[in-house]
Amino acid sequence: MNEAALRSAAAAAVDPALGAPLGEAVRGVAVEGTTATVYVVLGFPVVGHERALEPVLLEALRTAGWSGEVRARLRAEIVPQAVQGKLKPLPTIKNVIAVASGKGGVGKSTTSANLALALAAQGAKVGLLDADIYGPSQPLMMGLEGRQPTTPDGKSIEPLANYGVEVMSIGFLIDAEQPMVWRGPMVTQALTQLLGETRWGDLDYLVVDMPPGTGDTQLTLAQRVPVAGAIVVTTPQDIALLDARKGLQMFRKVEVPVLGIVENMATHVCSNCGHEEPVFGAGGGERMAAQYGVPLLGSLPLDIRIREQADGGRPTVVAEPEGRLAQAYHAIARRAAARLSTGLASTAFPTLSVSDD
């Protein structure tokens, strides 16, 4: 077979993260002996993605008549995506991804930390902003508890970093036992300052761990922060799904595209025998995703290791990088970044306006 025919066959292969044919992402095919090397450029982090893509390419090329081996050579070109309204992307941050929940206690912060770590492990430059002023948990989860950031000029703050991720949280600036007795406008101002006055590096993604709920603070943040896409975290039970729907609708109203839904605590894993059981119900996240026309990015179990690892300052993605739980986070991060890269999220919903009615 000639290289042009092989390239055409490779372009028709469906990328498992994109859920669509590779198309123009295939930049060329080189044949050496019995090995065809496919060169692919994707708009999301690609480290480790060869393991999922090479079998798909092999099948596509064999269907077209190729009988040799197939190798994938991947390169990432991550670019800024459109943000809501008249806002502009932040100077050194290509894409802000908000991780939100309609209510507390569904594992939003744990999910945020592991998604940020997964994106970093996949080759992206990543930051993590802890926007939960009343209950900042990222200093503990990211192994940075007790540390304080520095200010080089008295006006800006250097973020702390661990596991290859830049981190900023109000928790770095206050005593761990100090309650934040603030009204909404004070919270919004503090978060705006944390975002704008932190000396973020050149980031591909800034993951924002949003406060739980859909009140004034969350709405103001969604309107003021230039967000490229949002992820909604829920658990399967009806009461959590009811609140998660409110969070999804909030992003729709301010024209922030929703990348998908993460269903947390989908099953309980017994620490003694390993038996899994859907103690909070089954299929709730999938039904919600179908109802609102967004993808279910993935489901995660209620597993004691996730809690223990986060409490110990080594979230699952770094504590057991090759484990099944870490791979689930990796898959969710890859799907979210891939969906963002296609621009599909930006056109998934009709334009809606906010009214006082």
If pLDDT is split at 50, 70 and 90, which confidence band does 248 have?
confident
Angle (nearest 5°) at CA 53 between 52 and 56: 105
Mean pLDDT, to the nearest integer, of 62-80? 94
Mean pLDDT, to the nearest integer, of 54-81? 95
- CATH fold, domain 93-347, is Rossmann fold (3.40.50)
If pLDDT is split at 50, 70 and 90, which confidence band does 239 have?
low
Residues 246/253, Cβ–Cβ less than 8 Å: no
Q: Comparing 40-49, 92-101, 175-184, which segment has the lowest mean pLDDT? A: 175-184
- pTM assigned to the model: 0.89
Give span(s): CATH 3.40.50.300, the chain: 93-347
Q: How far apart are CA 264 and CA 237, in angstroms?
A: 10
Maximum mean pLDDT: which of 25-34, 103-112, 147-156:
25-34
Give span(s): CATH 3.30.300.130, the chain: 3-76
Mean pLDDT, to the nearest integer, of 4-29? 95
pLDDT in tens, 271-300: 778 777 776 666 767 777 877 788 999 999
CATH says 3-76 is which class?
alpha beta
pLDDT at 122: 98
| CA 219 to mean position of chain CA atoms | 20
List the 165-169 sheet strands across, edge first. Answer: 160-162, 165-169, 126-130, 203-209, 93-100, 229-234, 258-263, 296-299
- What mean pLDDT, rounded, does the chain reach? 86
Q: How far apart are CA 320 and CA 332, in angstroms?
A: 16
Report H helices in 24-101: 50-63
Q: How far apart are CA 307 and CA 325, in angstroms?
A: 12
If pLDDT is split at 50, 70 and 90, which confidence band does 184 have?
low
Whether residue 352 has pLDDT greater than 50 = no
Whether residue 355 has pLDDT greater than 50 = no
pLDDT at 356: 43
